[in-house]
């Protein structure tokens, strides 16, 4: 039986952005990458919950012609402003004692 995707995530193997998330026979989510064909199984409730929280859920699924529409990727929050000055490098670094010895 062909399984219907329930969501999409980036493939952990090849980083393909639309790897499919499906359910195995125990209703645990797993990743099937349509690009590199890797399968990543969760096998327990903890990892199942983590994957489901991370995936972009399929909102419309038409089986037959397999039309899947996935929720848009949420806009990334802007990175927090850097409030720390970059670390000051000591001149010479770790090899300074070697240079001092000549």
Binding site for Zn ion (CB under 5 A): 11, 13-14, 16, 33, 35-36, 38
Q: Which residue, 28 or 31, is less far from Zn ion as judged by CB?
A: 31
Nearest to 29 by CA among 16, 11, 56, 47: 47
Distance of CA 24 to the CA centre of its chain: 19
Nearest to 5 by CA among 80, 73, 89, 62: 62
**Strands 19-23, 29-32: parallel, antiparallel or unpaired by DSSP?**
antiparallel
Closest approach of Cβ 94 to Zn ion, in Å? Answer: 39
Q: Which residue, 34 or 96, is less far from Zn ion as judged by CB?
A: 34
Closest approach of Cβ 35 to Zn ion, in Å? Answer: 5
Q: Which residue, 37 or 96, is less far from Zn ion as judged by CB?
A: 37
Closest approach of Cβ 25 to Zn ion, in Å? Answer: 22
């Amino acid at each position: 039986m062909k399984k219907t995707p329930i969501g999409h995530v980036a493939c952990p193997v090849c980083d393909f952005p639309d790897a499919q998330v499906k359910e195995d026979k125990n209703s645990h989510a797993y990743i099937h990458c349509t690009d590199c064909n890797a399968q990543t199984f969760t096998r327990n409730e903890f990892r199942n919950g983590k994957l489901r929280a991370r995936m972009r859920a399929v909102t419309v699924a038409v089986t037959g012609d397999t039309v899947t529409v996935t929720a848009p990727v949420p806009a990334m929050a802007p990175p927090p402003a850097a409030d720390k000055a970059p670390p000051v490098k000591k001149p010479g670094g770790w090899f300074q004692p070697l240079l001092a010895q000549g």
